[in-house]
A = this chain, B = another copy of it.
């Protein structure tokens, strides 16, 4: 087994030489990739990444994409993948390879709100998130700007609520405001109201080392005020279960590839997948070392089997 040849559990986070990569890929039929900082940074593909994915497809590997980003629908991500040269199924009825938190939130709410007369959610998030929910029959309120109404706490608490709302969804919301936070918490005080946070990422990386505040900052604000918790994105197992149900995953023959130890790698480890950390994004080898040396079990788990500077490093093992 490749992992054992490369040192196995006793020597994790092994650099993936061409020889090791070849051995690993021989044992694998499915590769699951994070998007941001793995395939692309902002609007630019990571150099060599499209070629690496094309070569994987040419070798018959099945690819899947698991993103915590809730700001696009899965169709929009599929389009971005094609646009940046990562290929993917096309045409009507083509099976989508993308599992984003907007889509997975929709699956979750379809299941949990099945008995509701009018399944409806208060959404702190994008039109794309609302669109995914709408596609499974969950109506949405709250998308877009919501400035302060009234000039006192009493007035903020008296603003009307929608009586049909049965869930609060917190995704990436550039229109996040104190008024929205107030409303979210009021809905969550009502018996049976569900809370879904798409992910806990603290930052959303862009090009050139720039970043914006991530969804986790907004989720945490709601969680803190409501004293509730609920995340469906990585590292939660829920998002992997969505993939597994559609793909029929063989755990031993699947690799999770990502740039974050606390989401991508932790998800892979938790679900029993092989893991590859790519150094084009958030986590560094210093972070890996710190986790390896930690005496905290929850940190020790956040160590990948392998690491690469970039997924372009897989290319030599796929050539010739």
Q: A225 an interface residue at 8 Å Cβ cutoff?
A: yes
Residues of B within 8 A of A116 (CB): none
Residues of B within 8 A of A213 (CB): 178, 181-182, 185, 221, 224-225
Contact of A156 among B157, B174, B203, B214 (CB under 8 A): B174
Q: Write the chain B residue with the least CB distance to A174.
A: B178
Contact of A153 among B181, B204, B220, B225 (CB under 8 A): B204
- A window 145-189: CB within 8 A of B: 145, 147-148, 153-154, 156-157, 173-179, 181-182, 185
Contact of A178 among B148, B175, B182, B222 (CB under 8 A): B175
Complex-state Cα separation, A218 to B213, whole angstroms: 13
Q: A271 an interface residue at 8 Å Cβ cutoff?
A: no
Number of interface residues, chain A, beta carbon within 8 A: 35
CB distance from A68 to the nearest CB of B (A): 15
- A window 125-150: CB within 8 A of B: 145, 147-148
Q: A217 an interface residue at 8 Å Cβ cutoff?
A: yes
Q: A119 an interface residue at 8 Å Cβ cutoff?
A: no
Complex-state Cα separation, A204 to B181, whole angstroms: 13
Q: A216 an interface residue at 8 Å Cβ cutoff?
A: yes
Query: How many of these chains are in the complex?
Result: 2
Q: A210 an interface residue at 8 Å Cβ cutoff?
A: yes
Is A217 a contact partner of B225 (Cβ separation < 8 A)?
yes
Q: A206 an interface residue at 8 Å Cβ cutoff?
A: yes
Residues of B within 8 A of A227 (CB): 202
Is A212 a contact partner of B175 (Cβ separation < 8 A)?
no
Is A212 a contact partner of B145 (Cβ separation < 8 A)?
no
Is A203 a contact partner of B225 (Cβ separation < 8 A)?
yes
Using CB atoms and an 8 Å cutoff, list the residues of chain A in contact with chain B.
Answer: 42, 145, 147-148, 153-154, 156-157, 173-179, 181-182, 185, 202-204, 206, 210, 212-214, 216-218, 220-222, 224-225, 227
> Can you report 13 residue pairs joining A to B where beta carbons are below 8 Å apart?
A42-B153, A42-B154, A148-B174, A153-B204, A153-B206, A156-B212, A157-B210, A174-B178, A176-B181, A185-B212, A185-B213, A220-B220, A220-B221
